[in-house]
Amino acid sequence: MQVLVAEDDEHINEMLVYRLETAGYDVISFQNGDECWEYLKDTDEPPDALLLDVMMPGMDGFDVLRRLREYDFDPEPAVIIVSGRGLEQDVLTGFDLGVDDYVTKPFSPSEVVARLRRILQ
């Protein structure tokens, strides 16, 4: 299964990629929302899931999610927001936009992988 990680913090990005790869996932990563969206709209085979940060340079994670949900992907990828924005309104915005889960930073990479595995079953 393929997972796309969009996270601007290089350390967190590398940690997520490493943990997902060791769990057996094929991982693509980006450090800004614009590159993430360009990849998604141009691919013939979307990833099975996305891990999106909200606060990224260029397009933020919520904007990527809005566009993703408007696009005609079949099947539609699962989405987990992984963000430092943990206010109730941020979490509610994520769920209103159709996220499958919302994880606030700091987080356990193993927990994120477990949540992803549950969603992809």
Cross-strand bridge partners of residue 26: 2
Return per-residue pLDDT of the chain as tens, 121 residues. 999 999 999 999 999 999 999 999 999 999 999 999 999 999 988 999 999 999 999 999 999 999 998 888 888 999 999 999 889 999 999 999 999 999 999 999 999 999 999 999 9
Q: pTM value?
A: 0.94
State the DSSP H helix or E strand holding residue 50, giving kind and residue range, or none if neither.
strand 49-52
Kindly report the CATH number assigned to the domain that includes residue 98: 3.40.50.2300
State the DSSP H helix or E strand holding residue 2, giving kind and residue range, or none if neither.
strand 2-6
Split into its structural domains, the chain has a count of 1
The confidence score (pLDDT) of residue 119 equals: 97
Cis peptide before 75 (omega within 30 of 0): yes
Assign 87 to helix, strand or coil. coil
Q: Where does residue 2 fall: left (phi above 0), alpha (psi -120 to 50 degrees), or beta otherwise?
A: beta
| Domain residue limits at 9 | 2-120
Cis peptide before 106 (omega within 30 of 0): yes
The confidence score (pLDDT) of residue 21 equals: 98
The confidence score (pLDDT) of residue 61 equals: 95
